[in-house]
A and B are shown apart, each in its own frame.
Chain A
Amino acid sequence: MKIDAKTVSDLAKLARLDLRPEEAPVFAAQLPTILEYVGQLMNVTTTITPAPPLVDQPWREDQIEPSAAADDILNQAPDRDERFWRVPSVF
């Protein structure tokens, strides 16, 4: 696929990332080379099925414990309303 400034811009939108005007063309120039390099994997044919990730934790009872961190966390909020984080409107 052709990776141009528009593709890069679209991908950035998907990632909720604005690019500065000078960044999109630079990335558009660099990305095709990188993607071509990693794309060499496509030349390997295999039917192997990777094992699912191993989670090795013992089970425990679901016991509610107080969390001391709540106030510390809320104190870092860029904008808050009591115990809510406040954000600009969605629309």
Chain B
Amino acid sequence: MKLSLKNDVNVVINNNTKFTYFEILFPFLKNDYSDNYHFEIMKELVSTYSLKNKTIIEFAENNESNYIFSFKADSYTRGNMKFLYFSFYLPGEEFFDDFNLEKSLKVVKNNIFKSILLDREYSEKLFDNIYKRIGKSLSAALSDPKSLFHDMWNELYDFNHIKLHTNSEKINALNSTSLDGVIKFYKELVLKGNYTVLIAGNVSDKDKYIDTFNKVFKRNEVKMEFDVEYHEHFKPDSFGHVDKKVPYSLSIARVSYHKEDYTERDRYLLYMLDDFLMKKENFYLFNNLRLENNLVYSCDSTIYPSFNTITMTAFLSKDNIDKALEIFDNTLVSFKDKELFEKAKERLLKAQSIKLIDTLDRKLYKLSVKRNRLLKLETFEDECEIAKTITYEEFNEFIDALKKDAELIMIGDKND
């Protein structure tokens, strides 16, 4: 699908807030995972220091002096695309006499485009500290059973690390990180890149905000056109059965069910199944494991749309593992019952309609809808419309097509 973005400043007015929220969004094609820490370290440095304000306190005080609150850099990934964004809040204009929109935006512009990364010598010790800190954190990342289990799963189910990343992969990525790599990333993505802008909240005069932003921020004439693939598909490394003993008292059991031949509708069928298993309105897995059988305190289901897979996981005592595995299978098969399906679907649709009402109370919801439309991402409303069209026959066929392809059991060997 072609995604074409403009240099627009998109404003969503919601005067029911006391602030105005800004998001400056840089889209780019996702790079190799080995670049991961070039990106992460760049985000940290750009959001904490600048050429003019070289210490944390100077940077923070300069922002606060200009009424810029919660300035941060963050990102999200969708399929083959990654989105870097800088966000911050400005107060509504009626609260502070000396607040000046243009002045605040100039400070933000310098934060982003005159980063400390332009001073290589100074950046070196900052980079060094962050690098060591990340390294230490990664060395201790697997110090509890849930983190260890998660890592084991990623290693087994996605051996080539296409989608799921392990701790050792992160360590390798960190080892290949350099300050020059970070600077290069910054220059190519931010300095030479282009961005779209979203503003939401207490906006007295929409045109004034757009004009002031465009006056302060000059743009590169780089086209933002991408061949986006938001819904990629890969074959998982279906590993059969693996169990491993660990020196903890907590055991964890997970099974995955995978459908071989992918269709566009599969994603929505997975959402529906996930809902039936563990969402608030349907909680069949929770009911079967905990309420009926007292086997767990917590459990979950997770979908991996890229792999066309759904997993069920229980955190429990080693004595209850076999029972939990039986319940996983029985729960999945139970959805072949037409009456159960119809009841669960009805509850899902009702819950979705309630959630849509709920969104009216969320101050930045309109902005998230606007963002999704701009980026051609599905909105919650889109998902709701498709859920209505799923029939029992289609869902039944989907359940039949799901085959157990992996089972990972981590057996906690330590006594309570």
Answer yes or no: are A and B bound together in one complex. no
Interface, chain A (partner B; CB < 8 A): none
